[in-house]
Structure 1
Amino acid sequence: METSVLSRDGAPRTAHRWRRREHPLPPQAARVAADLRRDGIARTSVAELTGQDGLLQDVLDCAGALLAHRGAAVAAHRRRLAARQRPWGPAPEAERVALLGPDVPAGACRRLLAEPVLSAVVEASSHRAVRQVQVEAWLEVASPSPVPPRRWQRESAGRHPLVEVWVNLTGDEDGQGPLHYVRGTHRRGRRGGAGTFEAPGGPVGTVVLADLRGMHRRSPAVGRDRLLLRALLSGRRPARARPPVLSAELRLPSDAGYALAGA
């Protein structure tokens, strides 16, 4: 919901505030919102969440075109990964090749990540307005051997939701998804115990939403490349640019014991 409010200096500005929707979410989206609110993580699919059966194929076609467009970068990353293979050295981690950039026009990949149902689900689960702050697509060039586990972490966003959306375009088995997560740790002051984490996978088109205020760690691709779309939605307001201070407004004390350079 957009409303017109006054800023501190009295100038009008537009603010986005959450309010309970007059029309409820579709059943599948409501289920995802409930899971996300309770557990901090939820899993669904592109077709179930958006209700568009043909959208996934459009996204796969878009991803194929992005891979072709970035073929040289993918080949360079594979050579770099192979050159780092040493029998006495540590196993290299997966390399990410960014596929979306300013030179890539808006297509089905961006359109999927901009679906209003994504922000509607996050807002319904957190009861706060959110905005999209990042949109990415990348190919994780897999390491040929297992890599050391990443460190557990959690984002300090306070009461503001910070939700990551993953769309897996290659498919993973359960336990081998792109993100390990400890259910329920998104709630303030709660910590998870050992053995309570999971890395949800699924077939091509699986969508995973995770509240990054909970304990989580990245899961790199091993033995098989992974093609992903990612969006980040935040409940924090964007920082407002402050007007610059003009030199005429600056005043030095009369008893200053120094002078400006060149004065």
Structure 2
Amino acid sequence: MRRTATLLAVSFFAASAWAQEDKKTDDLKPADPDTGESTVEETTLGLLPQPLEGRGIKFAATYIGETLGNPSGGLKRGSVYEGRLNLAVDVDFGKLAGVRDLTFHANMFQIHGGGLSRGALLNFMDVSGIEALPSTRLYEAWFERKWGTKLALRAGQLAADTEFMTAKYTDVFTNASLGWPAGLSLNLPSGGPSPPLAALGARVRADITDNLTVLGAAFNGDSAGPGADDPQLRNRYGVNFRINDPPLALGEMQFLWNGKKGDPGLDGKSS
């Protein structure tokens, strides 16, 4: 007999800036903690000092915590608490060293608590977008060079789901259905470059118009390396920095509408 699980979820989100409300005020809001863009903005809650801001160095801290329960069905009933602290640093080398249009971004996760999918449901599409084995790990660390406002090259340890095959409001929802597709995470080696594992690679982004963007990237194809155990155990701290595995190449065209501040109607993206 098939058993269907019932989910109860309570989550909270605390960040160094106000949560995003709508597109009319997007320019003043922090980026999604997993977007790969800067998680730092001028408007903060005043909880995180920025002593080096004048020299182009900014810090950010984001915390997501969730209590999830399975009152019926699944493998077993129960509840868990899980959380993820995201610490990030962004460097503007134009301010720091006079090198214009060059930036650096890095962030790390401190992951703790249990996982409802792993411990009680054994489903392929995780209930939570932050579920992972407890660890303190490096996530992304990259340099980006821009040429004007239309072309940018990013290289280093990257996550693919920050820009490819994702939705703008991924982290607003508890489950992982709007993030990295389950078809890729189940079939690519080590699940592909997606939370909590990133991979060495390079990405080119060209903003053809205000509404059309073309992306291309190449990653090392296995962020954890071969093995039979959990990839998160094979790359426990996010510092394997593998470069010799078969590559993973991605390309995407993104079309945006009603995305600029002041545009009428709901905004959207097709890719």
Identify, as 1 or 2, the structure richer in strand. 2
* Structure index of larger Rg: 1
Q: Which of 1 and 2 has higher RCO (CA within 8 Å, sep 6+)?
A: 1
Q: Same fold (TM over 0.5)?
A: no
TM-score by length of 2: 0.27
TM-score by length of 1: 0.27
Identify, as 1 or 2, the structure richer in helix. 1
